[in-house]
């Protein structure tokens, strides 16, 4: 697939930057256009792979932002994007949209810029272009507290209703112990970039390489065309080379490199992808559609293997709407299976965020009422004998 990628806010921009890094490292060609949008000048300086002229600062003349971000305020995030909508539009004008199949907008939903400006950006894209717009959204971890949960729960509603598909990543599920938050983010961003690029770059291959069961961008778009929330699973195995050419641990039993064994191993890899940590933990049987991509040297990916993996997922996910194919990468040092579960509806984490958000909203309202009363009590004399000057 050919993508125009747009990162909004700090996390959104970092994810896009990691996607560019991974595609460059692996010789893929997915992100044909890139843009990052932020209200904080310092965050805009962070990306390593996004060209300088593809970074847009919004809100620098807005009195609540002034180039320093929106302080986690989702309302201000939306306000500054609306205020600078002409500038955002001008940045879109440089995108040759007929060159791309779809547009991907990435954002962290727990902050102010990604969660507030993201939906405004998506509205504009939907107005301007016919191509599908996909969201890639990061859900905050429970440990971040009530405000990020409230931002995320509200922003999720906006994102999901506006995009053609919303691919979710749950920070809570991916948090590991013994790491600083920044170290954790680095690792998560990398993991997410590997999954999203492996999935969406399928089909963008050297045309001299003819693949029997090659995945096509229309297959990916069909699977994403559900308007719902999606999750991605991934597993890979290293390929080892020897003097005779490609050989791998995947075919460790050299005496029995038969098709049946290979097929079982492909199925095993796909099963591992689905049973591994998904970008959004969910009940896989709640998926509406699914797609399997096997990425690696084609001699390791048999038609029988793809078929048995598809059959297995059909039973496990309890849907017949499953597409499977390969993405030939002759020089890859890994064989990877990536599984897209589209329109999953049983995801406990989203319910948890909503409940944390409702508690936070109640508490905020309560505190606001108390605060007003406390200020009133503070500035008023006990018998209320004094009047203000003006
Ligand atoms: P914004 O710039 O106002 O949109 O705010 P940020 O993007 O800095 O943060 C928004 C949310 O994204 C946070 O609440 C975190 O949940 C998450 N987040 C921030 N940075 C990262 C990151 O590098 N990786 C991941 N996975 N999540 C992040």
Is residue 137 lining ligand 1, measured as CB closer than 6 Å? no
Residue 95 has a pLDDT of 79
Verify whether ligand 1 is closer than 6 Å to residue 11 (CB atom): yes
Average pLDDT of the segment spanning 357-372: 94
pLDDT at 219 over 70: yes
Is 371 a domain residue?
Answer: no
Give residue 383 CA to ligand 1 midpoint distance, Å.
Answer: 50
Asked, for residue 288, whether it belongs to a domain, the answer is: yes
Ligand 1: centre distance to CA 110 (Å): 7
Locate 111 and state its tokens. Answer: 């902050």
Check if 342 has its Cβ closer than 6 Å to any atom of ligand 1: no
Considering the domain architecture, whether residues 32 and 91 belong to the same structural domain is answered as: yes
| 331 pLDDT more than 90 | no
DSSP tag of 279: S
Question: Does one domain contain both 108 and 162?
Answer: yes
Residue that finishes a domain, picked among 165, 200, 235: 200
Task: Verify whether ligand 1 is closer than 6 Å to residue 174 (CB atom).
Answer: no
In this predicted complex, what is the ipTM? 0.99
Whether 179 and 231 share a structural domain: no
pLDDT greater than 50 at residue 67: yes
The residue whose CA is least distant from atom 21 of ligand 1 is: 11
- Residue 31's Cβ-side half-sphere holds a number of Cα atoms within 13 Å equal to 29
Residue 22 within any structural domain of the chain: yes
Q: What average pLDDT does this structure show over 174-190? A: 92
Q: Is residue 206 part of a domain?
A: no
Name the pLDDT band for 363 (thresholds 50, 70, 90): very high
Nearest CA owner, ligand 1 atom 14 = 110
Choice from 6, 8, 9, 10 to test ligand 1 binding pocket (greatest atom count within 8 A of CB) = 10
184 CA to centre of ligand 1 in angstroms: 12
Quote the ligand 1 centre to 166 CA distance (angstroms). Answer: 17
Indicate whether 329 and 242 sit together in one domain. Answer: yes
- For the chain, how far is it from start to end, CA to CA, in angstroms? 65
Q: Tell whether 117 and 187 lie within a shared domain.
A: yes
Final residue belonging to a domain, choices 142, 170, 200? 200
Ligand 1 close to Cβ of residue 140 (< 6 A)? yes
Q: Which atom of ligand 1 is nearest to the CA of 139?
A: 16
pLDDT for res 258: 58
Cα-to-centroid distance, 91 and ligand 1 (Å): 23
Whether 26 and 110 map to the same domain: the answer is yes
Q: Is the CB of 148 under 6 A from ligand 1?
A: yes
Same domain membership, residue 144 and residue 7: yes
281 ligand 1 Cβ < 6 A = no
Over residues 178-200, the mean pLDDT reads: 95
Q: Output the domain CATH number for residue 305.
A: 3.30.1330.20
235 shares a domain with 261: yes
CA-70 nearest atom, ligand 1 = 3
Same domain, 108 and 195: yes
pLDDT score recorded for residue 252 = 47
Whether 310 is in a domain gets the answer yes
Residue with the nearest Cα to atom 24 of ligand 1? 185
Q: Do the beta carbons of residue 197 and residue 30 sit within 8 Å?
A: yes
What is the C-alpha to C-alpha distance for residues 46 and 221, in angstroms, rounded to an integer? Answer: 31
Nearest CA to ligand 1 atom 8: 10
Number of domains in the chain: 2
Instruction: Say if 137 falls within a structural domain.
Output: yes
Q: Is residue 361 part of a domain?
A: no
Does a structural domain hold residue 178?
Answer: yes
Domain co-membership, 190 together with 242: no
Could you tell me if the CB of 78 is within 6 A of ligand 1?
no
User: Ligand 1 within 6 A of 268 CB?
Assistant: no
Query: Same domain, yes or no, for 56 and 139?
Result: yes
Asked whether the beta carbons of 113 and 77 are under 8 A apart, the reply is: yes
Residue 161 CA, ligand 1 centroid: distance in Å: 21
CATH code for position 177: 3.40.50.1440
Domain assignment of residue 166, given as a range: 3-200
Q: What is the pLDDT of residue 259?
A: 58
Considering the domain architecture, whether residues 224 and 193 belong to the same structural domain is answered as no
Band the pLDDT of 266: cuts 50, 70, 90.
very high
Last residue of a domain, one of 139, 174, 200: 200
Ligand 1 atom, smallest distance to 174 CA: 26
Residue with CA nearest ligand 1 atom 18: 11
pLDDT value at position 253? Answer: 45
Asked if 139 and 349 touch (Cβ cutoff 8 Å), the reply is yes
Within the chain, strands assigned E span 3-8, 31-38, 55-57, 102-108, 133-139, 165-170, 229-238, 241-242, 245-246, 289-296, 322-328, 334-342
Share of the chain above pLDDT 70, in %: 93
The alpha-helical segments, DSSP class H, found in 113-238 are 113-128, 146-162, 171-174, 181-200, 217-224
Q: Which residues contact 61 (CB under 8 A, 6 or more apart)?
A: 83
Note the pLDDT tens digit of each residue in 20-59.
Answer: 999 999 999 999 999 999 999 999 999 999 999 999 999 9
Q: Is the pLDDT of residue 313 over 50?
A: yes
């Amino acid at each position: 697939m050919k993508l125009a990628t747009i990162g909004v806010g700090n996390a959104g921009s970092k994810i896009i930057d990691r996607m560019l890094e991974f595609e460059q490292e692996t010789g893929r060609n997915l992100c044909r256009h890139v843009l990052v949008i932020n209200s904080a000048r310092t965050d805009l300086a962070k990306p390593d792979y996004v060209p300088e002229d593809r970074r847009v600062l919004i809100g620098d003349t807005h009195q609540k932002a002034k180039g320093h971000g929106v302080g986690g305020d989702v309302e201000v995030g939306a306000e500054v994007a609306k205020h600078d909508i002409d500038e955002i539009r001008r940045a879109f004008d440089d995108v040759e949209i007929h060159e791309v199949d779809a547009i991907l907008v990435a954002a962290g939903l727990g902050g102010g810029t990604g969660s507030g400006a993201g939906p405004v950006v998506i509205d504009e894209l939907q107005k301007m272009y016919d191509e599908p717009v996909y969201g890639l959204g990061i859900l905050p971890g429970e440990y971040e507290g009530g405000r990020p949960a409230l931002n995320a729960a509200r922003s999720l509603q906006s994102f999901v209703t506006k995009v053609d598909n919303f691919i979710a990543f749950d920070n809570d599920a991916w948090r590991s112990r013994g790491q600083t938050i920044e170290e954790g983010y680095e690792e998560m961003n990398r993991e997410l970039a590997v999954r999203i690029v492996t999935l969406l770059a399928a089909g963008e291959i050297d045309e001299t390489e003819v693949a029997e069961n090659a995945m096509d961008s229309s297959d990916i778009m069909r699977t994403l065309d559900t308007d719902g929330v999606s999750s991605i699973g991934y597993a890979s195995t290293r390929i080892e080379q020897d003097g005779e050419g490609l050989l791998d641990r995947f075919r460790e039993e050299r005496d029995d490199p038969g098709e049946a064994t290979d097929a079982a191993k492909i199925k095993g890899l796909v099963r591992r992808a689905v049973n591994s940590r998904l970008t959004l933990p969910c009940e896989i049987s709640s998926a509406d559609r699914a797609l399997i991509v096997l990425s690696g040297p084609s001699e390791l990916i048999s038609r029988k293997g793809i078929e048995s993996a598809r059959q297995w997922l059909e039973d496990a996910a309890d849907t017949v709407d499953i597409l499977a194919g390969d993405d030939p990468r002759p020089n890859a040092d890994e064989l990877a299976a990536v599984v897209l579960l589209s329109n999953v509806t049983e995801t406990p984490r989203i319910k948890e965020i909503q409940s944390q958000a409702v508690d936070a909203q109640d508490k905020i309202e309560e505190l606001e009422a108390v605060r007003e009363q406390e200020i009133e009590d503070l500035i008023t004399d006990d018998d209320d004998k004094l009047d203000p000057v003006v």
